[in-house]
Amino acid sequence: AQKITQTQPGMFVQEKEAVTLDCTYDTSDQSYGLFWYKQPSSGEMIFLIYQGSYDEQNATEGRYSLNFQKARKSANLVISASQLGDSAMYFCAMRESMNSGYSTLTFGKGTMLLVSP
Amino acid sequence: EAGVTQFPSHSVIEKGQTVTLRCDPISGHDNLYWYRRVMGKEIKFLLHFVKESKQDESGMPNNRFLAERTGGTYSTLKVQPAELEDSGVYFCASSQDSGTGLKAFFGQGTRLTVV
């Protein structure tokens, strides 16, 4: 079973509108971390936001917020007031706590976001 | 502070040739990771170094791939001989620790095309 599922291959949004990118995850661990990365056309992977499994409040970083619903195992990324520069590939990822230490990042397939004027 | 740097940014080689990718992590980061994304698929873990030691190489696809991390600084990933299915973007990342909360900083990737 996939550990990270991103069901939206592509999303379109108009500039200045908000958009939600979906991410669900699968883990039996109690301690884990959830991440969102952005990959623009230039290729680099840019860290956006992190949510720990024990964090009670949803993470926020500027225009980015993470809608964390632990019971549903979802960690959706919300981008408010979209900008043209937000057009990129967005990856959801998870790091789990294991008996032997911590896992490396497991990624979803990504969602391509296109922001139009 | 310099980020994670990868070289080359692009490489086009013929099937059967050898290619070596290099990654310079952020100074002081003990953890170095290699990932790969084949076109249209998710980013897959290849291996993890802690300093110069291979902590986890469970993601290495086969013995045509050899990774080294000399002196716990930069790392190289050699593919020999390259096959068509090795084409993709190879990412390197580094982090200071391996806890669940520590984010990995990624390089810009090396786009490898095997023809």
CA proximity to B99, closest of A13, A4, A95: A95
- Residues in A closer than 8 angstroms to B41, CB to CB, are 109
Distance, CA of A84 to CA of A87 (rounded, Å): 6
Q: Contact B9/A105, CB-based, under 8 Å?
A: no
Model confidence pLDDT, tens digit, residues B68-115:
998 889 999 999 999 999 999 999 999 887 666 677 889 999 999 999
Phi, psi (degrees; rounded to nearest 5) at B4: -75, 130
Mutation choice for B interface testing from A45, A48, A61 by most B CBs within 10 A: A45
Q: Contact B106/A97, CB-based, under 8 Å?
A: no
Of B41, B45, B99, the CB nearest to A109: B41
Model confidence pLDDT, tens digit, residues A4-46:
999 999 999 999 999 999 999 999 888 889 999 999 988 888 9
A98: pLDDT strictly greater than 80? no
Distance, CA of A96 to CA of A53 (rounded, Å): 10
Quote the tokens at residue A7.
């069901």
Chain B contacts to A (CB-CB under 8 A): 9, 33, 35, 40-45, 48, 56, 89, 91, 93, 98-101, 103-109, 111
- In this prediction, residue A84 has a pLDDT band, given cuts at 50, 70 and 90, of very high
Distance, CA of B111 to CA of A44 (rounded, Å): 11
- Residues in B closer than 8 angstroms to A109, CB to CB, are 40-42
Element (H, E) at A1: none
* Cα angle: B36, vertex B39, B44; to 5 degrees: 25
pLDDT average, residue stretch A104-109: 90
Q: In whole angstroms, how large is the CA radius of gyration of chain B?
A: 13
Give the residue carrying structure tokens 């960690």: A75
Q: How far apart are the first and last CA of chain B?
A: 37
- Which one has a higher pLDDT value, B18 or A30? B18
CA proximity to B85, closest of B115, B58, B43: B115
